[in-house]
């Protein structure tokens, strides 16, 4: 029997990316952790703007509702952490996101961190996300690669070179002391680049898997009071029946 079952929700609709993330999650996990990786049922192939994040948040919460049976902890493997707060409110187990977890981990390794990610349009939303997490003053910069998320794997050598150049520029020019590779599309790339980048290099999936295991290991319980307690019973219209059924359920 596994020590814990970890649900990994991939918040865009690209199955190949779920496979990549699942492989990296299994590599990072303890031997007795079982990984269940699922792709959301609707939304964008790659998440690259605020509207797509909003759609992904709904899809992510539905995926958690439909796959929660027998799960001990959850992980959202999209760097905008879509639906993270809602999933924490709704689920009876701890839920982590790769953005928040990697940012918090970066704060334990250096003073300021930079994010290197795909798509210039997500730079400002990621700055806002760092501020939302109370880490705006620790964010040195967001450096972006002009490549669509779904094309991340089309030329891996070129991608590795671009990430290396942007990461070292963030260190030398922006004052970054830790680099975070932002997004499931670059899961595992940090292992290839650790000797090419002159600061600690973090992979969000790895950080989130290990933090989910830690929260389960310390017996973190579901909030029964405050804003993260389970939602009260309420009639819902036009949403997934499984999701609607969780409103007012005792968990």
At 22-33, the pLDDT tens digits run 999 999 999 999
User: For 20, phi and psi rounded to 5 degrees?
Assistant: -60, -45
Q: Are residues 131 and 178 in the same domain?
A: yes
Rounded percentage of the chain residues whose pLDDT exceeds 90: 84
pLDDT at position 220 is 93
Does the pLDDT of residue 1 top 60, yes or no? no
Q: Are residues 27 and 146 in the same domain?
A: no
**Structure tokens, 101:** 């977890």
62-101: per-residue pLDDT in tens?
999 999 999 999 999 999 999 999 999 999 999 999 999 9
Between 124-133, 135-144, 180-189, 190-199, the lowest mean confidence (pLDDT) is in 180-189
Q: What is the pTM of this model?
A: 0.94
Q: Which domain CATH number covers 230?
A: 3.40.50.12500
pLDDT at position 2 is 72
Q: Are residues 146 and 70 in the same domain?
A: no
Q: Are residues 111 and 196 in the same domain?
A: yes
How many structural domains is the chain composed of?
2
Q: Are residues 10 and 68 in the same domain?
A: yes
Q: Are residues 115 and 93 in the same domain?
A: no
Domain extent, residue 173, equals 99-204
Mean pLDDT of 33-37: 98
* Phi/psi-derived region of residue 108, left when phi > 0, alpha when psi is between -120 and 50, beta in every other case: alpha
Q: Are residues 91 and 16 in the same domain?
A: yes
Q: Count H helices, E strands: the chain?
A: 9, 8
Element (H, E) at 130: helix 123-132
Mean pLDDT of 124-128: 97
Q: Are residues 199 and 107 in the same domain?
A: yes
Give domain status of residue 147, yes or no: yes
211-234: per-residue pLDDT in tens?
999 999 999 999 999 999 999 999
- Using DSSP's 3-state secondary structure scheme, residue 141 falls into strand
The radius of gyration computed from the CA coordinates of the chain, to the nearest angstrom, equals 18
Give domain status of residue 251, yes or no: no
pLDDT at position 152 is 64
Cα–Cα distance for residue pair 212/181, rounded to 1 Å: 19
Give domain status of residue 178, yes or no: yes
Q: Are residues 184 and 163 in the same domain?
A: yes
Total residue length of the chain? 251
Does the pLDDT of residue 151 top 80, yes or no? no
Sheet with 178-182, strands from edge to edge, namely 139-145, 113-118, 178-182, 201-203
Q: Are residues 144 and 239 in the same domain?
A: no
Please provide the average confidence, as pLDDT, over all residues in the chain: 93
154-196: per-residue pLDDT in tens?
666 788 999 999 999 999 999 999 999 998 788 888 888 989 9
Q: Give me the residues paired with residue 45 across strands.
A: none
pLDDT at position 187 is 81
Q: Are residues 105 and 93 in the same domain?
A: no
For residue 66, what are the contacts with CB-CB under 8 A and spacing of at least 6? 240, 242, 243
Give domain status of residue 250, yes or no: no
């Amino acid at each position: 029997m596994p020590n814990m079952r970890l649900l990994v929700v991939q918040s865009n609709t690209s199955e190949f990316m779920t496979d990549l993330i699942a492989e990296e999650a299994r590599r990072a996990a303890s031997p007795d952790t079982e990984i269940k990786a699922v792709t959301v049922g609707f939304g964008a192939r790659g998440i690259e703007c605020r509207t797509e994040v909003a759609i992904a948040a709904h899809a992510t919460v539905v995926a958690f509702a439909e796959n929660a049976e027998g799960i001990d902890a959850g992980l959202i493997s999209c760097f905008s952490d879509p639906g993270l707060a809602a999933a924490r409110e709704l689920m009876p187990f701890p839920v982590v996101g790769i953005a928040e977890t990697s940012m918090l981990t970066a704060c334990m390794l250096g003073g300021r961190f930079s994010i290197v990610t795909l798509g210039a349009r997500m730079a400002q939303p990621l700055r806002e996300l760092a501020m939302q997490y109370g880490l705006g003053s620790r964010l040195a910069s967001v450096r972006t690669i002009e490549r669509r998320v779904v094309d991340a794997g089309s030329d891996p050598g070129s991608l590795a070179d671009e990430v290396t150049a942007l990461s070292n520029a963030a260190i030398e020019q922006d004052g970054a002391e830790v680099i975070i590779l932002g997004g499931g599309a670059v899961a595992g790339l940090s292992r290839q680049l650790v000797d090419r980048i002159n600061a600690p290099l973090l992979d969000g999936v790895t950080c989130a898997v290990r933090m989910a295991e830690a929260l389960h290991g310390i017996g973190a319980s579901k909030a029964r009071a405050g804003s993260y307690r389970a939602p009260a019973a309420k009639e819902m219209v036009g949403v997934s029946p499984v999701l609607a059924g969780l409103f007012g359920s005792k968990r």
